[in-house]
Amino acid sequence: MKTIYRNKTGKDSRQYAVGSRQKKNIYCSLLIAYCLLLTVFGCGKQVVIVTDSKYYEGKIKTVLGQLLKSASDTKEKHAVSGANLIEKVAVMDFVNANGKVSALGKYLGSKLSETIIESNSFKVAQRGEVLEVMKKNNIASPSALNNETIKKVGEGLRVDGIFFGEIIDLGTNIDVNVKFIGSKNGEILSAGSIDIERTKSVVNLMEIY
């Protein structure tokens, strides 16, 4: 004859043990789920953006896509009116809000030139030629461009359009605005913008002139 031991509540020890294990399993499952949630949301807040060459390439491709899409209607209008289509362009170094060209501005301008060439959108004047024509016409910075100087640069480089970019530090992120300007009359053919993560390396590049 088996002896069944009961606890104070009247339940036998085996039932009591099984119930305890089930409670422990439930508690463990809840704890694991809670830890997973903390891990997921915690990692989401600690994502590190690496502003390397691939990062910039992606950003420049995005803004070029915006510019070309916006300019397509203008090109069609020119074709209908019999005006010359844009075949060759110049890319200016991007300027900071103070009108100066930083290391980041030179880099972004160079990346835009490379991307335009890779996309086979236009022929691009070399940076050295652009600087030479600017110096010849006493244009100290791309920020000094106006309808008159744009026309001089266009004639000197024999280009149909000019890309001009401006970099603005908003404190939380870096805003980059790019305009595509017709060199014959200074008409803005298209415009686009991108946001760049405000990392320490980006801020340092903006401070180097």
Is the Cβ–Cβ distance between 115 and 61 less than 8 Å? yes
Is the Cβ–Cβ distance between 178 and 164 less than 8 Å? yes
The whole-angstrom separation of Cα 95 and Cα 9 is: 81
What is Dmax (Cα atoms) for the chain? 113
Q: What is the pTM of this model?
A: 0.73
| Each residue's pLDDT tens digit, 1-49 | 555 545 555 555 555 455 566 655 666 566 666 555 555 555 545 556 7
Q: What string of pLDDT tens digits covers the 209 residues of the chain? A: 555 545 555 555 555 455 566 655 666 566 666 555 555 555 545 556 788 899 999 999 999 999 998 877 555 544 433 345 789 999 999 999 999 999 999 999 999 999 999 999 999 999 999 999 999 999 999 999 999 999 999 999 999 999 999 999 999 999 999 999 999 889 999 999 999 999 999 999 999 99
Torsion sign across C-alpha atoms 65, 98, 151, 188: positive
